[in-house]
Amino acid sequence: MPIQPAPLQFAADGTPCSEAYGDVYHSADGGLGQARHVFLGGNGLPVRWRGRERFVIVETGFGLGLNFLAAWEAWRKDPARSRTLHFVSCELHPFQADDLARLHAAWPELAPISSQLRVQWPVLSGGVHRLHFEGGRVCLTLYFGDVREALAQFDACADAFFLDGFSPAKNPEMWSARVFYLLSKLAAPNATLATWSVAGEVREQLRRARFAVEKAPGFGGKREMLRGTVHPKSRVRDVLPPPAVRHAVVIGAGAAGTSITERLCARGWEVDIIDSAEKPGQGASGNHAGVLRPQPSFDDNRMSRITRAGALYGWQRVKDAFALGLPLRAEACGVFHLARDAEQEAKMRAVAERLAWPETLLRFAGAGEAGGQVGWRVPYGGWHFPGSGWVQPHSLCAANLAAWPARVRAHWLCSVAALARRGENWHALDAEGRTIARAPVMVLAAGVGNPRFEQTRNVPILSARGQVSVLSAANGSAPRTVVCQGGYVTPAVDGLRCAGASFDVGDPDTELRLADQQANLAKLESILPGYTAGLDAQTVAARVGFRPLSPDRLPIVGAVPVDKESAYPGLYVLSGFGARGLTWAALTAELLASRIEGEPLPLELELVSAMSPARFLSHQTRKRITDE
């Protein structure tokens, strides 16, 4: 369902309100005061997070973001604060960033942090969005959509609940028995809650959900509020203790391996990364340029949702890298996916209209408009992704490692022949059985090399040979954007553009093939009619790489399974990206790092399960793999 932004409206006294719900966003006595008294004070904060490794807050309505900003402000001012603060919230009708700016102007004392929130404010598309602040120590996980869907899809262990939203009389769905039941499933031992509402039905539903509540003095003109705790005998979530030793070995220095290295280092880990090449990004990540963009579908299926989330998070990480001055080459020049004929053009228009994503993410463009922006006459229009573009994969790998140089130890020109668990550590062994590196946690991100290990026998990873053509091109020449249609072509990057590519599953040939060059030029001619005149397939440069592919084309992210019921302790795999390595690398690395740390996850549970390595242990999946 498309996300409908909240309109900017005010009550007669100037308090932000919603005419649709007939209610205000916060007390007329002051939104920030209410946040501090009701939600922070009602949950015993900041005292309860002091000395903690991690503190997690789950909120039922983000609104203006005042409760988040109040919690963040209190956390950053507290010298005894928790090492990290996670704030998990949802909002069905989020504000636009410009409207938030006008609303936040009422609290100039919050300007240093509210401005950071607005800079990172996500595209208003459905699903989970993850934002990082304070060098990653404050993390906002924000779901745009219905609260009942959000709570069912969150994977978090909440120490405190902020129950906010329009009044039970105006918006009963937010205060329903199902919402409170879902909240109870997210509760950590000794979890607390607070809300401004003292309605009898709210108190009764919370009691039935195994929360013990009591009235307390309210804020401003409201005499009472509620605060409570999860019942001591309730079945609460197990809290995963933080890792005793933050040290990992990562095998593979491509997009997957360097991305998980960067995400772990951002959490204070030390990482030994091993690769058989002499520097990062020399395998499937060695192409001169690749495409980072979503993949829409009419039914917004799992593939579409994962690629959308991956593209949005990936471009946010690109912006972060630029801000840090890291050696990343990328440009959000826009991507056009053009139709091959009139029938497909009509379908692509219908998909764009049905999804109704924000135009900064996806829009339909006719042939004239597309050709004008691309710089080449094209017969049909198609999808335009204005915020997407190209990334140079090997520069991404280098930037990931350069982000935390003091926490990374690289082992170049080293081949891992086997893995061994000895005591509490995993050992990466060479052909002579000598240890290259060891650590309690190991991540297998070696692409098509992962299947060589005995421990990955239950993780089917296929190899897809890809040959990409590399053309000489003047910088600024057409096409000026990335253009796709069966294949793809990039703008000129340092005098070269990439076009292609082949995708041959199970083909081990490392040699360049004239037939593939001809096929790549044929795709390019289909994309941009007349473009290949004068190009000779025999003289065009090319490169061959092998991409790891899962049988169902979704990423493989998580613990390496021993069988249906168990997994190897401390052993994880990050692979199966196929042709979407740039789109999925950053998000899946954040997912895996969050899983290893025991943090709230940055994706819906449904999507996390769809990427689990254990999915291949079902009878139906095993049969499909065998049949293929």
Q: In sequence order, what DSSP letters do the residues of 475-540 get, joined into one string?
A: TTPSP-SEEEESEEEPPPBTTEEEEE---EET----S--HHHHHHHHHHHHHHSTTTTTT--TTTS
Q: Cβ–Cβ contacts within 10 Å for residue 341, how many?
A: 9
8 Å CB contact between 252 and 453: no
Sheet with 23-24: strands ordered across? 9-10, 16-18, 23-24
Decide if 256 contacts 224 (C-beta within 8 A).
Answer: no
Provide mean pLDDT across the span 462-480.
95
| Integer Cα distance of 591 and 41 in angstroms | 32
Q: Is-cis flag, bond preceding 479, omega within 30? A: yes
Instruction: Report the alpha-carbon distance of residue 158 to residue 87 in Å, rounded.
Output: 9
Domain at 9-230: CATH code: 3.40.50.150
Label residue 238 by pLDDT band (50, 70, 90): low
- Distance of alpha carbon 119 from alpha carbon 89, whole angstroms: 18
Cα 404–Cα 409–Cα 413 angle in degrees, nearest 5: 130
Average pLDDT of span 399-425: 97
Q: What architecture does CATH give domain 251-283+394-461+552-627?
A: 3-Layer(bba) Sandwich (3.50)
- How high is the pLDDT of residue 621? 46
How far is it, in rounded angstroms, from Cα 310 to Cα 238?
29
pLDDT of residue 627: 41
Distances (CA, A) of 327 to 311, 323, 394, 496, 508: 20, 11, 10, 19, 32
- Answer for the pair 489, 560: CB distance below 8 angstroms, yes or no: no
The CB-side HSE value for 440 (13 A sphere, CA atoms) comes to 11
- Distances in Å between the alpha carbon of 11 and those of 93, 169, 258, 566? 18, 18, 51, 56
Residue 231: which pLDDT band, with cuts at 50, 70 and 90?
Answer: confident
pLDDT of 239: 67
Q: Is the pLDDT of residue 577 over 50?
A: yes
Percentage of residues of the chain with pLDDT beyond 90: 94
DSSP state of 275: -
Q: Provide mean pLDDT across the span 594-608.
A: 97
Cα 522 to Cα 337: distance, rounded to the nearest angstrom: 17
Q: Which fold has domain 464-549?
A: D-Amino Acid Oxidase; Chain A, domain 2 (3.30.9)
Residue 235 has pLDDT above 80, yes or no: no
Q: Which residues of 241-251 are buried (b: 16+ CB within 10 A; e: fewer)?
A: ebbeebbbbbb
Q: What is the token pair recorded at 485? A: 């249609």
3-state secondary structure of 226: strand
Q: What is the pLDDT of residues 345-395, one digit of tens each?
A: 999 999 999 999 999 999 999 999 999 999 999 999 999 999 999 999 999
Whether 626 has a pLDDT exceeding 50, the answer reads no
What angle, 0 to 180 degrees and rounded to 10, lies between the N-to-C axes of helices 200-208 and 177-185?
Answer: 40
The pLDDT value given to residue 234: 64
Under 8 Å between Cβ of 367 and 467: no
Question: Distance of CA 75 to CAs 83, 228, 334, 407, Å?
Answer: 10, 22, 39, 26
Q: Which residue, among 215, 219, 92, 234, has the nearest Cα to 158 in the 3D structure?
A: 234
User: pTM for the complete prediction?
Assistant: 0.96
Per DSSP, what are the bridge partners of residue 132? Answer: 139
Q: Supply the mean pLDDT for the chain.
A: 95
Cα 447 from Cα 330, distance rounded (Å)? 23
DSSP string, 64-127: TSHHHHHHHHHHHH-TT--SEEEEEEEESSPPPHHHHHHHHTT-GGGHHHHHHHHHHPPPS-SE
CATH 3.40.50.150 residue spans of the chain: 9-230
CB 60 within 8 A of CB 79: no
- Give ranges for CATH 3.30.9.10 in the chain: 464-549
Q: Are strands 16-18 and 496-500 parallel, antiparallel or unpaired?
A: unpaired
- Which residue ranges does the chain devote to CATH 3.50.50.60? 251-283+394-461+552-627
Q: Supply 230's token pair.
A: 């999860």
- The per-residue pLDDT for range 295-322, each reduced to its tens digit, is 999 999 999 999 999 999 999 999 999 9
Q: How much of the chain exceeds pLDDT 70, in percent?
A: 97
Across the chain, how many H-helices and E-strands are there? 17, 32
Pairing outcome for strands 462-472 and 504-505: antiparallel
What is the Cα Rg of the chain in Å? 26
Q: Which residues pair with 426 in a beta bridge?
A: 421, 439
| 145/148 Cα distance (integer angstroms) | 9
Q: Which amino acid is at 466?
A: G
Q: What are phi and psi of 414, to 5 degrees?
A: -120, 130
